[in-house]
Structure 1
Amino acid sequence: MSLTAFMPFLVLEKPATSKEKLKSGFQVLEGCGRNLYIGSRDGTIQHFTLLEPEGNQQTVRETRRKQLGSKDLITQMKVLPVQNHLLVLCNGSITAFNMFSLEPIPTLSKIRNVSLMSVNDSYSLAQPLVVELFTLASRRRAVSIHVVSVNKWECIKEVSLSQDPVSLAVDGSCLCIGTDKNYILHDHKSGITLDLVPHDSTNQSVIVQAVGKGEFLLNGPGSLGIFVNSHGISQRPPLQWSQGVLAAAVYPPYVLALQSEGLLIYSMLDQHLKQTVPLHKAIGLLCTTESVFVFTESEVYNLQPIPLDVQITALVNSESVHEALELLQGVEGQLSEDTYKTLQKNTAHTAGFVKFYQGCFQEAKELFIKGDIDPREIISLYPDLPSLGDGFTSQLAAVFNTRDLRAMRTEDYATFQGYQEFLGGFLSAIRGTDQSHGHGRDIDCTLLKLYAERECHKDLDQLLSSGNDCLLDMCVPYLEKNKRFFSLGLLYQSHGQADDAVQTWVKIVDGFLAVSSSPDVYKHIVKFLSQQKCRKLLWKYADWILQRDQEVGVQIFTNRGDSQESLSDEDLAFLTKYPKALELYLEHLVMDFKSKKEKHHTLLATTYVAHILRDLEHVRAMDTTGNTTRYKLQQFLQDSTFYNAEDVQEAIKCTPLFVEKAILHGRAGEHFKALEVLVHKAKDQQAAEDYCRRTSEGQSTEFINQLYLTLLGIYLQSPHSVRAAVDLLNGNSAAFNLLDVLQVLPDSWSLQLVDRFLIESLRWNFHSRQMRWIEKNLVQVEYHRHKIGWIRDTRGMIKVEKWQLCQRCGRYLMEPIFLRSLKGELIHEHCGV
């Protein structure tokens, strides 16, 4: 037990008396505001006024005293402040007195045969001047419901019970009744009754206490304080209290259980015992909105509740952080917003540090973020980190389990690394949030040092690749000392010093700066320069870039994202020194930017030619059909329509690029020359056939027949090309007109040489004729189908009434008329079809 929730004060003590006078001892207590009423065993009612407390003392002053005529035991009292009534249960009858004068109220006659009474406190919220009173009958199993006003009361309803009632609590329309055998719930409006739990009335007190909001507290079996709502459901864990509980009360967030020798105070939040108030022969407990009273036969104690903020602060100071956090969360609605925020912040700070030194880093991180702690409080705990500015001094008190991280770094470096990892994670989590406002420099400089020291290269580069508040004077020497030169360039870059950044990276690539590890610095420089809007920096390093690698280096021009209009001739002039880069740049202009300038297309074609010729000289070989560049040249010559064919022809005139020459002849419509070059100079039968196939795409049948017949004629001119001619006929029978072929074939050819061609040609001609016949008939069927539909739509005549609208001429009909329906339209006869 680490909590003091209530402070007991003796407010009234009856003078010591002989045993014969014990009949006048205290029996029952009732209070309202500063009014305190005590009922004695001899039927005496005493009215006391609570005086203002002086220091740690509180006293009372007796105001009135009333002796009941019967001098019988007073068993229960209840104040009704709305009517200024004091109800007294004595000798089985309820009598109403004025709560100030203690004079009986003549208009309210006694209610007899009552063993227990209870007031519905929530009833007055709906009807402020009326109180609902519930009484248990002492001689019969029933609960009577009375409506009490200033001058009268009347019984409006009676609820019968199957067992003898012993105790009663009311909330709204729900009655919680403890009988001699068990506890039950009864809704007197709906009539629904629920059996709850049994109890042993011979060994334990039958206690029923209204908690509020439709919830009750019961003294259940096994010495359990059970919470149950109006639906019979327990939504809180039970309290395990000791045997011999005489009475119980709820003062949120605590439950007070009275025993003969003391008062036990439990938390409703964690169900643990929090405080014990020792007493001697206690007999009763009274809980009001202001405080709690406990009394014996001769003494009355006032248990003043300690303010919740004081309780939480005490728990924090004693480092009972779990209890403090739990209590704080449970009483949030009972504190002002400012008080709650202050307590929440202080509690989270202390709890965070306790978890921090225990090594529970995830919980500590969450608490520090929840408590909005100044990040410098954490940074200041670590050795050898950048100095904190503004004369920072920690404002937090040390916790009990504080550990010296400076000593830990020397004695237990493995554990210290865990604390370093926590710091990095915490600062990264709050970086850029409101919690880091005003502390960006301290956070970023600390992260830089942590990442560099722990070789977190990815995290370090990510930190420096974006906007940061690192101080150059502090961080540059540190990065140089740790040979983090690539990161140093990123630091320069993030602070707008682009030239310094590139110079640093260039030195790394050239080997002047040794680094432990880094990404591909050369590619990073290329990417960085391609993103620079200032071309001055690009030209400064362009030669160095392209001398290293033309294929990668050209990206400083191609990856800039500029529009086509911004691409200057200066780039082309510069790239003439670097043929491969020039070729890639021109491909970028033509393929990506879709340039239609003749200059770009012609230059790309001649650049391809130059590349191919360099390859030919290098390998000293004439067969370059597998060359990738040559394939790209052929495709380009076939697809592009913007290059100057004469310039390209001039470039390849004295070269063995026969396929390319054929393509250019074909672009000029000189198909005979093209095929002749492919057959006689390139000596490539397959290239000749590919040329015919490619050129025939989308052309008429006559053109295709003539083109293939031209190739056949070239083959027939040479006696060594008989096999090529036969292969051409056999492989492309559909492309030839049979009659034209028969006219040009030499008479010396045998039938067996062309029998395959003749058979396939006849089959193709027959197939084509049949397909044309089928297509003709299908078209006729479609025509007749549409004609029948048209006839059906125009055949009918319908009658319509006047004032209908002709959908052809737009005029209204002045009299009924027959109209024709044409495709869904109503049309006058005179409008025609």
Structure 2
Amino acid sequence: MALHQSLVLEFPGRVECVVHYSMRVLVGTADGRLVLFDTRKDPNKPVGVHELPHKKRIQQILVVPHIRMVIVLANNTVTVHSATDLELVSSEFHLAKDVTHLSVNQRGPPHFRVCAASATKLQLFQFEAKEKRYKYLRELAIADPPEVVGWYRNKLIVGSRRGYALINDKTAEALSINLNVNTTPMVKLLPNEEIVVSAMDALGVFLLFTGEPVQRNSIAWTKAPVAIEYTSPYLVSMIPQKGIDVHSMQDGSLVQSIALPRITAMFGNGMKWDMEPRTGGDSEDVIVVAALTATGSTSIFKVEQMPMEQQVQELLDRGRIEEASDLMKKSISSLNADKQKSRMRRFHRQVAITLLKRCEFNAAVEFIYRSGMDPREWLSFFPDLVSPSFAYEPTILTPDVLPRGSSASPDWNSVLAALLKDNAGNLAPELVANGHAKLYTKSSKALLKCLEMIKKHSSRDRSSSREGMFATPPRSRSTSRESEFSAAHSSGGSFHRAPVLSRAAATVSSSFPKDIQRSEAVDTALLRLYIMHESMSEIAALLTTIDHQGEGAHCDLGSSQALLMHHHLYFELGLLFERHGRVLDALDVYARMGSGEYIQNPLEDSTSGAQAAVDLLLTVEDTSLVLYHSVRSSIHQPVDDID
């Protein structure tokens, strides 16, 4: 629901026209009365009344708030009144005879000009600031009696039973618009120099002031409207014997209908005088409608947009992401840059959650990334992808936001089961047809993409304050690491499983525990996902890539070691040991590959194991370590670089 209605006042009698300005409501009656109410005071007690002597119905009211005037058409004559007390104001509108429609120029200069249309001509009047009155300007002859007129800059758009024409307000040069009308013509000027007109039986078509069509979906009404108003991003139409239809400007779809079968009048003020849409929260951005009651009185309703966040969430729930985004941007346009950025990040988080609940996982990835959401929020639902030490409880994807089904703890299988059971009506049919297993596979692939994006972003934007002593060392080996080999060898202990861990790495884990925990969670999950989806080349890249600040993978050692062993990924196991500074363990793995004990690829394991050992030894400065493993490697497989 985009709009909601609230009763402003009850009026004793039939209302033919209603307008709203500066918290005031002005009604025009069937018996020629103008009655003004101030909604800030007693809404049922008028603050101004003016009775026209002919006692004929009020046909039209124009509001020109900048000069505090209202212009009234009744009995085919025009009068001007003060906007605050309805007192008559002198003007030259008495020169206009048999007027059927009024239009005010929406964009000068000069501003506030008024067109009084009659059967054979358009008479133009201009406000003279010095005299504070409207004076006759000129008239333009027309071929067909107009039923509606709009005026923007130097062009009038005139609608008649025979069609629409654009008329130059100085030369009267006319450009016919090729549209099949077949209905009561209707014109509404819109932002961005667009116009919507009624065509054929009940179709709203968008045009430019050149007469060219706009590349926008047309509006389909149930029957031709008698009034159209704008409140961004919606068109609100008054449909006789029905009420109000609300259409999206984004795609022309019907958003909402409000039943008011005895509606008699409608007014909207969703644009400023310069034709720009009003920002969210503007008190002037309201639709006012009048509807007869069973007793013959008239109820005046104010129809306003729902709170912006509620509208946004409803649009998201219906999958209308782009429309929700436009609405959100409108609502925050008046905020400073920092607040806009913060609100948009929160909005992107809303979008991500909505898309996850709709099982549109690939689309959700972009918004998870843009929202800055901690990757562990989603990752925590995949216990098979995290290390035993992983301990993260979601603070965003909580049970009240994302259903967990039968599981008390985060579990994606349980979430999918709950979504397929309770939310199937909001899912695309093809997604429901995929079933649980395929959706799980799709979601794991999307999670992989998400983690890759986040890892790339973290590597690029990591603060320079974390360089130097706090950076995880690159692949090159320092003498201090290899000293562990000498100590183990001289004491007679085994050097095959010596826990060689750099002091710098230890410093990182204590100084930036949250960053390291997040990095370990991401990298450990990436390793498992690459194995799950058989992206073997990506595993080596993950374990060997070092960014410009010396950062590499932070895969959990214990669980990753067991997983690589289980899948016979021995070369990658060696790289994992290297990444953790376990040089001796890495050399041992490569030696076992060279001897044929570890077989990963029968066609090349002995060669690749020996070559990997050589590549590693070339980075080691401890000569005794190099000599020992050079001899060991050469026993199983001769490699040129050993010499």
Summarize the Cα distance change of 1:75–1:111 in structure 2 as closer, same or farther, 3 Å threshold.
farther
Task: Go from structure 1 to structure 2 and tell me whether the alpha carbon gap of 1:483 and 1:108 turns closer, same or farther (over 3 Å shift).
Answer: same
Q: Is the 8 A contact 2:181 2:198 kept in 1?
A: no
1:254 to 229, 234, 242: 234
Decide whether the 8 Å contact of 1:78 with 1:86 is kept in 2.
Answer: yes
Cα distance between partner residues in 1 of 2:118 and 2:415? 75
Q: Alignment partner of 1:296: what SS? A: strand
Separation of aligned partners in 2, 1:416 and 1:310: 31
Please give the secondary structure, in 1, of the residue aligned with 2:252. coil
Partner of 1:376: 376
Residues 34-433 of structure 1: pairs in structure 2 closer than 5 A: 34-51=23-40, 59-106=43-90, 110-113=94-97, 114-123=99-108, 126=109, 130-138=111-119, 140-149=120-129, 151-188=132-169, 192-200=173-181, 204-235=183-214, 236-259=216-239, 260-288=241-269, 289-297=284-292, 298-316=298-316, 319-320=317-318, 322-329=319-326, 332-336=329-333, 337-338=340-341, 340-342=343-345, 344-355=347-358, 357=359, 360-387=360-387, 389-396=390-397, 397-399=400-402, 405-406=412-413, 416-433=440-457
Decide whether aligned partners of structure 1 residues 329 and 27 sit closer, same or farther in structure 2, where only a CA change above 3 A counts. Answer: closer
Q: How does 1:482-497 map to 2 (within 5 A)?
A: 482-497=567-582
Mapped to 2, the partners of 1:135 and 1:76 lie a distance apart of: 11
**Residues 412 and 515 from structure 1, CA distance in 2 versus in 1: closer, same or farther, beyond 3 angstroms?**
farther
Q: 2:640 aligns with which of 523, 547, 554?
A: 554
Deviation at 1:339, TM superposition (A): 6.9
1:438-449 aligned at under 5 Å gives the runs: 438=515, 439-449=518-528
Q: Which residue of 2 aligns with 1:529?
A: 617
Q: Distance in 1 between matches of 2:125 and 2:193?
A: 18
Structure 1 match to 2:273: none
**Residue 594 of structure 2 corresponds to which residue in structure 1?**
509
The equivalent residue for 1:704 is none
Calculate percent identity across the aligned residue pairs: 19
TM-score (norm. length: structure 1)? 0.58
Contact 1:10 1:299 in 2 (8 A): yes
Larger relative contact order, structure 1 or 2 (CA cutoff 8 Å, min sep 6): 2
The secondary structure found in structure 2 opposite 1:62 is: coil
Change (3 A) 1:417 1:43: closer
Q: What is the SS of the residue equivalent to 1:283?
A: strand
- Following the alignment from structure 1 to structure 2, what is the Cα–Cα distance between the partners of residues 485 and 256? 67
What amino acid is aligned across from residue 613 of structure 2 in structure 1? Answer: I
Q: Assess if the C-alpha contact under 8 Å between 1:309 and 1:343 holds in 2.
A: no
Gaps spanning 5+ residues in structure 1: where?
A: 16-23, 53-57, 558-833
1:405 positional shift: 4.4
User: Aligned ranges for residues 458-477 of structure 1 at < 5 Å?
Assistant: 458-466=537-545, 467-477=552-562
Which structure has the larger Rg over C-alpha atoms? 1
Q: Give 1:258 deviation, angstroms.
A: 0.9
Q: SS at 1:77's partner residue?
A: strand
Displacement of 1:285: 1.0
- Map of 1:13 onto structure 2: 10
Correspondence for 1:632? none
What is the RMSD computed on CA atoms of the aligned residues? 3.2
Deviation at 1:447, TM superposition (A): 1.8
The Cα of 1:222 is off from its aligned counterpart by: 2.9
Cα displacement (A) at 1:175: 1.2
CA distance, structure 2, for counterparts of residue 488 and residue 239 of structure 1:
62
Contact 1:131 1:148 in 2 (8 A): no
1:65 CA drift (Å): 1.0
Deviation (angstroms), 1:394: 4.6
**Which residue identity is paired with 2:234?**
Y
Unaligned residue ranges in structure 2 (runs of 5+): 270-283, 293-297, 334-339, 418-434, 463-514, 546-551
Distance 1:533 1:59, change over 3 A: farther
SS at match of 1:374: coil
**1:180, 1:401 → 2: CA distance?**
61
CA contact (8 A) 1:532 1:538 kept: yes
* Distance in 2 between residues matched to 1:549 and 1:296, nearest whole Å: 94
Asked if the contact 1:351–1:367 (Cα under 8 Å) also holds between the matched residues in 2, the reply is: no
Aligned to 1:450: 529
How has the CA–CA distance of structure 1 residues 399 and 61 changed in structure 2, closer, same or farther, with 3 Å as cutoff? farther
Flag the structure with higher helix content: 1
1:33 paired with 2:22, answer: yes
Q: Give matches, 1:669-708, under 5 Å.
A: none
Q: 1:169–1:176: 8 Å Cα contact kept in structure 2?
A: yes
Q: Distance in 1 between matches of 2:256 and 2:386?
A: 48
- 1:66 Cα offset (Å): 1.1
